[in-house]
Structure 1
Amino acid sequence: MPPTPARFLVVLDADSTLIRNEVIELIADEAGRGGEVAAATEAAMRGEVDFATSLRSRVQALTGVSTSAFARVLSRIEPTPGVRELIDEVHARGGSVGVVSGGFHEILDSVAPALGVDRWRANRLATHDGVLTGAVEGAIVDAEAKADALQEWADAERVPVQRTIAIGDGANDLRMMAVAGLGLAFNAKPAVRARADLVIARVDLREVIPLLP
């Protein structure tokens, strides 16, 4: 018997949405290049540069960082206020939660299940002999890939796209926010707030609960 369809689907970005951090900046701190990478991340989130090109450049700055750094990065992760309450409420109402991120599986694979996320997708960092090579493995999760993930997960859960909610903060979230039934700008850059269906002003994901079907 096929699984029961979800009543609705909520898809969140990870960095600065599901969590308060930008993971690539935390990893860059391990290489002593946190400030440089933070500035490049900010430009990418404002939509000033192509996301995939920017990500490759920023990941190159991580060359030589030991994979042992991931444990230290994980210890610095701060879940966004209200995230557990939101996810619990989605599940209580028969919904499903996905996270799609331009960040990295190396961190999200621990964070997402701990918060109760049902499915997630992110980039992978290439490694050799226990250190980062400065490259991303496979295709980059960019704006189009985020929109594709929302559609794919909605199909898998048998949820009409009109009953999907996308929540994000950066320019690479705009495509999935446009595809979703409801696109929410959360802790967002001006360009994202301008194009969202609704803007969540407080950095507290409990603010989304009244909008759930």
Structure 2
Amino acid sequence: MTEPRSFTATLIAAGRLDDSLTRAVIERLAAAGLAASVAAWIDDGDARDLVLIGDVVAARDALVGWEGVDLLPVTTGPRLRKLFVADMDSTMIGQECIDELADYAGVKPQVAAITERAMQGELDFVGALKERVSLLKGLAVGVLAKCLAERVRPNPGAKTLVGTLRLHGATCLLVSGGFTAFAEPVGAMLGFDEVRANLLGQADGLLTGAVEGDIVDSRAKLAVLEEWEAELAIARDMTMAIGDGANDRPMVEAAGWGIAYHAKPALAAAADARIEHHGLDALLWGMGLPRSAWVEA
């Protein structure tokens, strides 16, 4: 009979974590079949480590629905990872760029409905992307910059997360099933080392309604993780990946630490840890880094 495993999980309740809340969490974990004991504070009142014995998946799911509380089980390997691969839309930024572009074209309801089904894993991503892009045919190329300026905003903690990871020696890659017109400026703004995304076809100042070149889909995202793992000559447990939808699942499952950020069920069920109530910088607590070690944006 296999002995229950022992592992660390970071308990996060920014601004309100105290001994009383910690005890309540430990009771909830016990009800889910996990033995828990208190380890060190990372930041008083914000985040502390627990040592758990039991099932990692049960720990990941035990606090779901508890407002303002996240628990991040930490998988084996070094806590501070050397490779970070991130999705863009609804992960590093708060928008789905293709949906916002569709608003300018007057077809947002149609496009957003397809996007939602694709992110839930109900549609083939490549086919869904081509269908949505076809609805943008004839939109002026200048609208891309307008949409970027008016609609696209980073999610809370995005720049702090990337800046801190790079300070501590990590390579950071933005890999998007969206478009270079958004991913490249977003990647530059947030400090990513490299960006991969899709190229929208253009002719005579208008969108052609097609995607040019190879499409960045779930397989391409996984390939980027594997490519850079080999390039950096690091073990898989030194990698981490984050996303929100079904298209991110292969890379999140493959990474040493896979994170679901405010994610669709198709991804949340597959990730090692889930962030539901905090910003992206909460991952830094999960890696054992106090605020004093962060690069504040």
Could you state the TM-score of these two structures normalised by the residue count of structure 2? 0.68
CA contact (8 A) 2:198 2:212 kept: yes
One-letter amino acid of the counterpart of residue 91, structure 1: R
Structure 1 residue 154, shift from structure 2 partner: 2.0
Aligned residues: 208
Instruction: Choose which of 20, 25, 45 in structure 1 pairs with 2:94.
Output: 20
Q: Are 1:125 and 2:200 counterparts?
A: yes
CA contact (8 A) 1:98 1:118 kept: yes
One-letter amino acid of the counterpart of residue 200, structure 2: L
- Structure 1: 5+ residue stretches without partners: 1-5
Alignment partner, residue 3 of structure 1 = none
Instruction: Choose which of 127, 140, 148 in structure 2 pairs with 1:53.
Output: 127
Listed one character per residue, the Cα deviations across residues 66-107 of structure 1 (whole Å, up to 9, x for unaligned) are 110011111121100000111111012111111101000011
Q: Name the Cα RMSD after superposition.
A: 1.4
Q: Are 1:101 and 2:181 counterparts?
A: no
In 2, the alpha carbon distance for the partners of 1:50 and 1:164 equals 27
In 2, the alpha carbon distance for the partners of 1:13 and 1:35 equals 23
CA distance 1:158–1:211, change in 2 (3 Å): farther
CA contact (8 A) 1:7 1:93 kept: no
Structure 1 residue 139, shift from structure 2 partner: 1.4
Alignment partner, residue 148 of structure 2 = 74
One-letter amino acid of the counterpart of residue 202, structure 1: H
Q: Are 1:90 and 2:177 counterparts?
A: no
Structure 1 residue 211, shift from structure 2 partner: 2.6
Structure 1 residue 153, shift from structure 2 partner: 1.8
Give the share of equivalent positions with the same residue, in percent.
Answer: 44
In 2, the alpha carbon distance for the partners of 1:151 and 1:46 equals 24
Alignment partner, residue 168 of structure 1 = 243
**Structure with more contact order per residue of length (Cα contacts < 8 Å, sep ≥ 6):** 1
Structure 1 residue 159, shift from structure 2 partner: 2.6
In 2, the alpha carbon distance for the partners of 1:52 and 1:159 equals 31
CA contact (8 A) 1:185 1:196 kept: yes
One-letter amino acid of the counterpart of residue 197, structure 2: A
Select the structure of larger CA radius of gyration. Answer: 2
In 1, the alpha carbon distance for the partners of 2:106 and 2:156 equals 28
In 1, the alpha carbon distance for the partners of 2:267 and 2:182 equals 25
- Whichever structure has more helix as a proportion of its residues is 1
Listed one character per residue, the Cα deviations across residues 42-89 of structure 1 (whole Å, up to 9, x for unaligned) are 000000010000000000000001110011111121100000111111
Alignment partner, residue 200 of structure 1 = 275
CA contact (8 A) 1:21 1:77 kept: yes
Could you state the TM-score of these two structures normalised by the residue count of structure 1? 0.94
Instruction: Tell me whether 60-69 or 198-207 shows the greater mean CA deviation.
Output: 198-207
- Structure 2: 5+ residue stretches without partners: 1-79, 289-297
Structure 1 residue 157, shift from structure 2 partner: 2.6
CA contact (8 A) 1:7 1:159 kept: no
One-letter amino acid of the counterpart of residue 130, structure 1: G
